[in-house]
Amino acid sequence: MLNRRPAPVRQQPPQSSDGLLLDVRNLKTYFHVMDGVVKAVDGVDLRLAPGSTLGIVGESGSGKSVTALTMMRLLEIPPAEVADGEIWFDGRDLLTLTDEEMRGVRGNDIAMIFQEPMTSLNPVFTVGFQIAEAVRQHQHVSKKEAWNRAIEAVRLVGMSAPERRVKQYPHELSGGMRQRVMIAMALSSNPKLLIADEPTTALDVTIQAQILELIRDLQQRTDTALMLITHDLSVVAETVQHIAVMYAGRVVETGKVDDVLLSPQHPYTQGLLSSIPGEKKRGKELSAIKGVVPNPFRMPVGCKFQPRCPFQWSRCEEEPGLIEIGGPERRSRCWLQAPEETARREAYEVAAMATVADVVG
Amino acid sequence: MSSVDPMTPAGTASEAPAGIPGAVPASGNGHSDDEILVDIRHLKKYFPIQGGLLRRRIGQVYAVDDVSLEIRRGETLGLVGESGCGKTTLGRTVIRLLPATDGQVLFEGKDVASLEGRALKKMRRRMQIIFQDPVSSLNPRMPVSDIIGEGLLAQADHQNGWGKRSVRDKRVGDYLESVGLRREYSRRYPHEFSGGQRQRIGIARALALEPDFIVCDEPVSALDVSIQSQIINLLVDLRERFGLTYLFVAHNLSVIEYISDRVGVMYLGKLVELADVEELYRHPRHPYTIALLSAVPHPDPRIRKKRLVLAGDVPSPANPPSGCRFHTRCWLRERLGNPENCETIDPEFRDIGNGHRVACHWAEQITDAGVAELVPHLALARELRRQEALAAASAVAPQPAQEAPVSARPEEKVAVTASQEAATQLPEDGSVPPASEEPVPASDESARPMAEGSS
């Protein structure tokens, strides 16, 4: 089901990815559907150092999950098509690997957990069996040893009485416990990168707090790199070090989490922050981002956010690139950040500061 | 055609303020008259668990177990709790979508459960509901005109003339406009709309019957963040325009904080705390409420807090713990050395002043300073920290300038007298608020240099 892109075999990245675990370059994933082509991911760049954490934030349809699924080569091709780009992981371009080689990466070097743990677990096998199976898939150990490792993994994710838990079936566990099992399974092969796609969206707040703490804790203890995909700015705020905000298939803002959340440099990020309700907003109208996410078949020209942007002006008809702010880590895809737009940028910053003060002040 | 005047609900006592832009939505609305619209008394709703060959009742789920509260006309009562706590069941039982097992719901003094026939039908028109899932709550085979018109047809009589198609269609169009959709949309089917638009249709359907009281059952939790705030704004706006009373059920604490006048917290079928929204979010007194508040992630990355993480899951409502239902997960009980009455005596839902009601034997043990430590992102905690920072700064140097972060605007330096006194009578566990807001260093040891977004 996964085709191999007939790409030239490149053993080394053309430019330096030194010290990087993951270097996604200009990734484009399109879906060919009846009505045309949906450019779900349209030129995404992401970089991640070993052991570091990156949050990808965006609303539904922003392309954040498709980016992750493309990295894992889990999309069915066709209708999906990786139209362009490279995914350098640990010195290899994942897009050039054979299916066989990719199976060695998936689950082994890169593990993934999903939003709904019930659909990711097989209902007819015990959780211990499933973890042990995952262990044996990637490591050459005996059945007995794999079983022991499953118990160890279950203990590691903080479940009580692991010897008993491994004999239970998924339906006997609560949502939070199932997510723990998924994490146990994902980490059982000591991956270099863990991708967590909305891992707490289906969970209650108190359980969400448990799972986030677990992910944070394990990430630090095992030194696994983490890519956390979520729509919730508050979840990334306390879990990751760097963030990339996505909109309509593109990264629109990146930087350290403190910088992005405390001084957002893209109107979309500011809009997301300002739509978080809370005490300070009581009695005021919530500043909603007007309109809706653009129709994928009728993408606006130029900046994809311009029809919804309160700061839009004529220049937005032209597509902005990711403009550096201060350093290469901090970028925003907005003309406001162009050096010559001083006056407009100042006006924007006044609004952005007010937003930040309202949310975190 | 854009006029909304003909839709002003008949029989609404209070004059709805005509959608003044920027009007104060939440507080101050409807508090002036304390008329109780919905009075819930000892309401119980149990679901049978059937089993065995003969499908005999082998147990029951105590979904709502003896809940009493009153909802005043014009107010928004928020109801929070985790899944399975009974908040949705409570909402549905109140408007008699589900029959109550025991207890009463008085709507304007009349017992909803005792109504039958025409009286019941008349009552139903005045109590409506907006559902969580905008997909499954709209019939995919009906055009919008029928979805909204169905209720009108059911409630048609000589006076309102809703039996006539033309009257109905006019009304459907009017209400579509009042929820921000175009009236031409009435011929379309649900699949032609986005999630936010479908939720607007659900709202129009509830509104078209001119209700006084609407149960909003998680109306925004299925929506994206940017759409969520559009719908919340709409609900606030409609509340002002039509003089509505909401029972707003949600699990998102910041949504509840924004929209509610008073807030009730539920745990395992019981109401554990009820207070005015500011009182509840500033001075929570039930250990479960504090745990919930502590669990909520906050967008300020400088507060990477040590959470108060509750152990385990919510127990089964079919077999709730004895005594206080929260005692199996309660952190306060643990700190107090596991007092016996938590396990044996179901705490009374008692008033601790200002209409603040709590069901905890040990609520008095909780101080504002203790809360501030456990929930560092609360406004109260911020103020305590700010005061301390100011005190420290003024002791060292006359300029308190660079100490406080971003938002140290002068108008925010509000004194919290209550919390100051509280700080002097700390519990023995030493709940001293953190000395100052420690900004987490952006590059702590575990952080590695990383760059993203090469072009």
pLDDT, tens only, B120-131: 888 899 999 999
Q: Residue A116: exposed, middle, or buried by beta-carbon count in 10 A (0-12, 13-18, 19+)?
A: middle
For chain A (361 residues), the mean pLDDT of every run of 10, in chain order, is 50 61 91 87 90 91 89 86 89 88 86 80 89 83 88 82 86 82 84 89 81 86 90 88 92 92 90 81 78 83 90 89 85 89 87 81 61
- The pLDDT value recorded for residue A14 is 53
In terms of Cα–Cα distance, which of B152, B84, B96, B153 is closest to B123? B96
B208 has a pLDDT exceeding 50: yes
Could B451 and A273 be called an inter-chain contact, meaning their C-beta atoms sit closer than 8 Å? Answer: no
Q: Which residues contact B296 (CB under 8 A, 6 or more apart)?
A: A205, A234, B253, B254, B377
Considering CB atoms only, which of A206, A258, A293 is closest to B301?
A258
Band of pLDDT at residue B29, cut at 50, 70 and 90: very low
| Identity at B228, one-letter amino acid code | Q
Model confidence, pTM? 0.79
Q: What is the DSSP string of A185-238?
A: HHHTT--SEEEEESTTTTS-HHHHHHHHHHHHHHHHHHT-EEEEEES-HHHHHT
- The pLDDT value recorded for residue A361 is 61
> Looking up tokens 């509830």, which residue turns up?
B206
Could B295 and A206 be called an inter-chain contact, meaning their C-beta atoms sit closer than 8 Å? Answer: yes
Residue among B20, B24, B220, B225 with most chain A CBs within 10 A, to mutate? B225
B252 to each of A206, B78, B217, B269, B296, how far by Cα in Å? 12, 10, 12, 18, 9
Considering CB atoms only, which of A45, A261, A353 is closest to B453?
A45
13-72 in A: which are within 8 Å (CB) of B? 19-20, 23, 25, 45-52, 54, 59-60
Is residue A255 within 8 A of residue A331, CB to CB? The reply is yes
Q: Which residue has the higher pLDDT, B451 or B148?
A: B148
274-293 in A: which are within 8 Å (CB) of B? 275-290, 292-293
Q: Which residues contact A157 (CB under 8 A, 6 or more apart)?
A: A180, A181, A183, A184, A187, A214, A218
Considering CB atoms only, which of A51, A208, A257 is closest to B301?
A257
Could B446 and A220 be called an inter-chain contact, meaning their C-beta atoms sit closer than 8 Å? Answer: yes
What beta strand segments (E) does chain A contain?
22-33, 36-48, 53-57, 80-89, 92-93, 110-113, 193-197, 225-230, 242-247, 250-256, 323-325, 327-332
Band of pLDDT at residue B19, cut at 50, 70 and 90: very low
Could B452 and A321 be called an inter-chain contact, meaning their C-beta atoms sit closer than 8 Å? Answer: no
Whether omega for the bond prior to residue B405 falls within 30 degrees of 0, making it cis, is: no
Is residue A202 within 8 A of residue A211, CB to CB? The reply is no
- The pLDDT value recorded for residue B45 is 93
- The pLDDT value recorded for residue B304 is 63
| Identity at B93, one-letter amino acid code | T
B286 has a pLDDT exceeding 50: yes
- The pLDDT value recorded for residue A252 is 94
Q: What is the DSSP string of B118-151?
A: HHHHHHHHHEEEE-S-TTTTS-TTS-HHHHHHHH
Per-residue pLDDT of A100-132, as tens digits, reads 888 888 888 898 888 776 777 888 999 889 889
ipTM: 0.80
Q: Which residues contact A284 (CB under 8 A, 6 or more apart)?
A: B22
- The pLDDT value recorded for residue A159 is 79
- The pLDDT value recorded for residue B259 is 92
Helix (H, G, I), strand (E, B) or coil at B328: coil
With contacts defined as CB-CB under 8 Å, which chain A residues touch B27?
282-283
Let me know how many helices (H) and strands (E) chain A has, helices first.
Answer: 12, 12
Q: Which residue has the higher pLDDT, B287 or A104?
A: B287
| Identity at A295, one-letter amino acid code | N
User: A75 CB near a chain B CB, below 8 Å?
Assistant: no
- The pLDDT value recorded for residue B415 is 35
Considering CB atoms only, which of A271, A272, A279 is closest to B379?
A279
Please give the residue of chain B at the shortest CA–CA distance from A308.
B226
With contacts defined as CB-CB under 8 Å, which chain B residues touch A286?
229, 232-233, 258
CA-based nearest distance B104→chain A, Å: 30
CA-based nearest distance B28→chain A, Å: 9
Let me know how many helices (H) and strands (E) chain B has, helices first.
Answer: 14, 12
With contacts defined as CB-CB under 8 Å, which chain B residues touch A254?
452-453
- The pLDDT value recorded for residue B434 is 40
Q: Which residue has the higher pLDDT, B11 or A7?
A: A7
> Looking up tokens 């920290």, which residue turns up?
B385
CA-based nearest distance B455→chain A, Å: 7
What are the tokens at B365? 């043990």
Considering CB atoms only, which of A213, A290, A360 is closest to B309?
A213
Is residue B332 within 8 A of residue B287, CB to CB? The reply is yes
B400 has a pLDDT exceeding 60: no
Band of pLDDT at residue B454, cut at 50, 70 and 90: very low
Could A210 and B310 be called an inter-chain contact, meaning their C-beta atoms sit closer than 8 Å? Answer: yes
With contacts defined as CB-CB under 8 Å, which chain B residues touch A174?
313
- Classify the C-alpha dihedral B335-B290-B251-B32 as positive or negative: positive
CA-based nearest distance B169→chain A, Å: 26
What are the tokens at B172? 């459907």
Band of pLDDT at residue B39, cut at 50, 70 and 90: very high
Q: d(Cα B360, Cα B193) in Å, to the nearest integer? A: 46
What beta strand segments (E) does B1-51 contain?
36-51
Q: Which residue has the higher pLDDT, B408 or A218?
A: A218
Is residue B299 within 8 A of residue A360, CB to CB? The reply is yes
Q: Which residue has the higher pLDDT, B445 or B342?
A: B342
CA-based nearest distance A152→chain B, Å: 19
With contacts defined as CB-CB under 8 Å, which chain A residues touch B298?
234, 237-238, 360
Triad B63, B64, B70: Cα angle to 5°: 155
Can you name the residues that pair with B69 across neighbouring β-strands? Answer: B40
Helix (H, G, I), strand (E, B) or coil at B376: coil
State the average pLDDT for chain B. Answer: 78
B383 has a pLDDT exceeding 90: no
Helix (H, G, I), strand (E, B) or coil at B383: helix
- The pLDDT value recorded for residue B33 is 57
Could A208 and B297 be called an inter-chain contact, meaning their C-beta atoms sit closer than 8 Å? Answer: yes
Per-residue pLDDT of B47-83, as tens digits, reads 988 877 777 888 888 999 999 999 999 999 999 988 8
With contacts defined as CB-CB under 8 Å, which chain B residues touch A331?
452-453
Please give the residue of chain B at the shortest CA–CA distance from A243.
B452
User: A354 CB near a chain B CB, below 8 Å?
Assistant: no
Share of chain B above pLDDT 90, in %: 39
CA-based nearest distance A71→chain B, Å: 16
- Classify the C-alpha dihedral B1-B5-B11-B12 as positive or negative: positive
Sequence-separated contacts (24+) of A131-137 with Cβ below 8 Å: A131/A166, A131/A181, A131/A184, A131/A185, A131/A188, A134/A107, A134/A185, A134/A188, A134/A189, A135/A188, A135/A189, A137/A107
In terms of Cα–Cα distance, which of B250, B42, B2, B303 is closest to B131? B250
Rounded (10°) angle between helices A175-187 and A143-156: 130
Considering CB atoms only, which of A59, A262, A293 is closest to B301?
A262
Q: Which residue has the higher pLDDT, B369 or B382?
A: B369
With contacts defined as CB-CB under 8 Å, which chain A residues touch B279?
none
- The pLDDT value recorded for residue B417 is 35
Q: What is the DSSP string of B220-281?
A: TTTS-HHHHHHHHHHHHHHHHHHT-EEEEE-S-HHHHHHH-SEEEEEETTEEEEEEEHHHHH
Q: Which residues contact A207 (CB under 8 A, 6 or more apart)?
A: A174, A175, A176, A200, B82, B313
Q: d(Cα A26, Cα A85) in Å, to the nearest integer? A: 5
Q: What is the DSSP string of B268-316?
A: TTEEEEEEEHHHHHHS--SHHHHHHHHHS--S-TT------PPPS-PPP
> Among A261-265, B280-284, B443-447, which stretch is predicted with the lowest mean pLDDT?
B443-447
Could B313 and A328 be called an inter-chain contact, meaning their C-beta atoms sit closer than 8 Å? Answer: no
Sequence-separated contacts (24+) of B182-189 with Cβ below 8 Å: B183/B1, B185/B144, B186/B143, B186/B144, B186/B145, B186/B148, B187/B143, B187/B144, B187/B145, B188/B143, B188/B144, B189/B140, B189/B141, B189/B142, B189/B143, B189/B144
Q: Please name the residue ranges forming H helices in B376-416.
A: 379-396
Could A277 and B454 be called an inter-chain contact, meaning their C-beta atoms sit closer than 8 Å? Answer: no
Per-residue pLDDT of B144-194, as tens digits, reads 999 999 999 999 888 888 888 999 999 999 999 999 888 889 999 998 888
